Structure 1
Amino acid sequence: MITTEQQRDAGLLDAFASHLAIQRGLSEHTVRAYCGDVLTMLALLPHGADGTDPADLSRLSLPVLRQWLAQESGRGLSRATLARRVAAVRCFTAWAQRTDRIAADPGQRLLSPRPGSTVPQVLSAAEAAAVMDAARDRIAAADETVTAARATRDWAVLELLYATGVRVSELVGADVTDLNLGDRLLRVLGKGDKERMVPFGRPASTAVERWLAVREHLLVTGPTDSGALFLGNRGGRLGARQVRDLVHRTTALAGVRDLAPHGLRHSTATHLLDGGSDLRSVQEVLGHASLSTTQRYTHVSTERLRSAFAQAHPRA
């Protein structure tokens, strides 16, 4: 349901959303999040005598932005969420100045809370293997062709997620033509429409080959996205929500800690570093724009090293 606040600022937010999507190349998810963040800030501005006009951007100032940030902080939001909201508002005020909607940019002086340095939760290599085994075992338990095809797809999805460390949006957005089984490479389109090639190993290749052999059982007639690498239960492109449900369901089946799909991505990065990969290589695999983002996973590896030392060294 569209609220009154969204209706009165719809034109402004639509223009901002177009800037984010077309000029900045941000994903649909990020555009939606940024517009939602900006909407909370616009609610503090006057909207005409009867409250139905668009926000009066001439009243936008640093004190107003600080009031908004204090209000958001008082809601108990995490520092990471607050930092993203500040980034969204800064982007908005800079855009508003460039498009002559405001004379000066007050967002330049708005300080952002530093995100917390939380260590990502990851699976051990043995736990990751248990998840893959649980997914594969469901194929043998299937009692009909279509059910077996879905189980094979699920196995291939999990193997490829863990093998490549790609984001869920990147995986479900991939087409069959993006797959190079000969060289074991997957082409994905990441944030900012940046394309990259990601390698994967033999287990993932085996799972994907088996999926492609039964993929036709999920194809249906009618308007479907038949070029998609992974198909949903109704024949269209597999959705991100289905993948999230799959990961939660299979980790429970395997008896390991519950993780979201991003947890598999964290696990991939950590296991690559544990295995001796350098940060730059892991950065390329994950598609991080900044090396500092990849460096978070070195903390995980350090914690594992300390744990192994404490358990095994006689003078720990």
Structure 2
Amino acid sequence: MSELRDAVADYARALDLERGRSAHTIRAARGDLDGFVAFAEARGSDNLADLDLEDFRDWLWAESEAGLASATIARRASSARGFTAWLRLTERGPDAARRLKSPKTGRTLPRMVSAGHMDDIFDELRARAATGDPVALRDLAIVEVLYATGIRVSELCSLDLDSLELERRMLRVIGKGNRERVVPFGAPCAEALVEWLARGRRAIASESAGEALFLGARGRRINARTVYDLARRQLEHSPGTGPAGPHTFRHTAATHLLDGGADLRGVQELLGHADLGTTQIYTHVSTERLRETYRQAHPRA
């Protein structure tokens, strides 16, 4: 039995013995969390320490795409929040689902950014970076990497200097289940990384910077909260619903690749999905975006 499954079983017992919840409530929570465990194990994420918000968001998204009712999705989000709050309270793992939001009534597409709006975001970031400000240089490089590679925020924060192969334009990434993969990036991303390393990182690196590729303003390895704050600022005026965070750039990269004719297996490898079914969600998203555009624009839709 995996560490995650053990924790779910212990949580169900805690609901009964310590909190006195009804048998119905315990069965519902256990069923919800067993479903999450199966989803996480398929992705190679069965360690408590590896849990993050993206795992829970992807799970709810997959459940929504499977046609589950909004009320069921909302209950599953609540079960996840209760579980990870208990993990934190018992010092067994992170409260990864604390900011997990239940979906609004009705199925909506996750927030995506059009190619044109991505150009606007990069224009703004480049204008700030042109001042030579180290943080602005870092921000441009971070968004370039997120969009170019589709990596997770946790993967970005853990990148080291030797993860980067500039000549080959490749990044070595340690993903879920401690699996390593190599992802490519393009010329604009490479240029932003060169500028960050040459003019930005050197200016703010502290003695505790170590080998971290990206640093916070105090010169230490960057944390996820800083990247979330950056993403929210850049996506503040982007159209669409759903969370506006680093995962938006991951969704956007995957959808743009498939819209451009990329092979599904190739996108699966790029994103580090253990299960092709997780990647296939993006083909559905691409189709739904086309349908939504048609419904809004065609006079006989």
Using structure 2 for the length normalisation, give the TM-score: 0.68
Judging changes above 3 Å, is the alpha-carbon distance between structure 1 residues 72 and 192 closer, same or farther for their aligned structure 2 residues?
A: closer
Are 1:69 and 2:55 counterparts? no
4+ residue runs over 4 A deviation? 85-88, 307-316
**Preserved CA contact (<8 Å) 1:34 1:85:** no
3-state DSSP class of the match of 2:182? Answer: strand
Are 1:176 and 2:128 counterparts? no
3-state DSSP class of the match of 1:305? Answer: helix
Task: Give the CA deviation at 1:300.
Answer: 1.6
Task: Give the CA deviation at 1:216.
Answer: 0.6
3-state DSSP class of the match of 2:214? Answer: coil
**TM-align CA RMSD:** 3.1
Counterpart residue number, 1:24: none
**Preserved CA contact (<8 Å) 2:16 2:26:** no
Counterpart residue number, 1:289: 274
Judging changes above 3 Å, is the alpha-carbon distance between structure 1 residues 290 and 86 closer, same or farther for their aligned structure 2 residues?
A: closer
Rounded to whole Å, the distance in 1 between the matches of 2:193 and 2:246 is 18
AA in 2 matched with 1:264 = F
AA in 1 matched with 2:282 = Y
Task: Give the CA deviation at 1:250.
Answer: 1.8
1:247 maps to which of 231, 247, 272: 231
Are 1:42 and 2:13 counterparts? yes
Task: Give the CA deviation at 1:243.
Answer: 0.3
Judging changes above 3 Å, is the alpha-carbon distance between structure 1 residues 301 and 234 closer, same or farther for their aligned structure 2 residues?
A: same
AA in 2 matched with 1:285 = L
Are 1:130 and 2:120 counterparts? yes
Rounded to whole Å, the distance in 2 between the matches of 1:277 and 1:194 is 23
Please, which runs of 5 or more residues in structure 1 have no aligned partner? Answer: 1-15, 21-30, 52-62, 74-78, 89-113
AA in 2 matched with 1:283 = Q
3-state DSSP class of the match of 2:63? Answer: coil
Query: What do the CA deviations read for 1:135-189 (whole angstroms, capped 9, x no partner)?
Result: 222224x5xx6xx011100110001000000000111101111101111100000
Tell me how many residue pairs correspond in the alignment: 233
Please, which runs of 5 or more residues in structure 2 have no aligned partner? Answer: 41-61, 66-106
Rounded to whole Å, the distance in 1 between the matches of 2:6 and 2:248 is 24
1:237 maps to which of 218, 221, 246: 221
Greater relative CO (CA pairs within 8 A, separation 6+): 2
Using structure 1 for the length normalisation, give the TM-score: 0.65
Judging changes above 3 Å, is the alpha-carbon distance between structure 1 residues 71 and 171 closer, same or farther for their aligned structure 2 residues?
A: closer
Rounded to whole Å, the distance in 1 between the matches of 2:170 and 2:247 is 20
Q: 1:1-316 counterparts in 2 under 5 A?
A: 20=3, 35=7, 37-46=8-17, 67-70=25-28, 83-84=35-36, 115-117=63-65, 119-140=109-130, 142=131, 148-214=133-199, 215-221=201-207, 224-252=208-236, 255-257=237-239, 259-309=244-294
Identity %: 45
Deviates more, 1:226-235 or 1:267-276: 226-235
Task: Give the CA deviation at 1:225.
Answer: 3.3
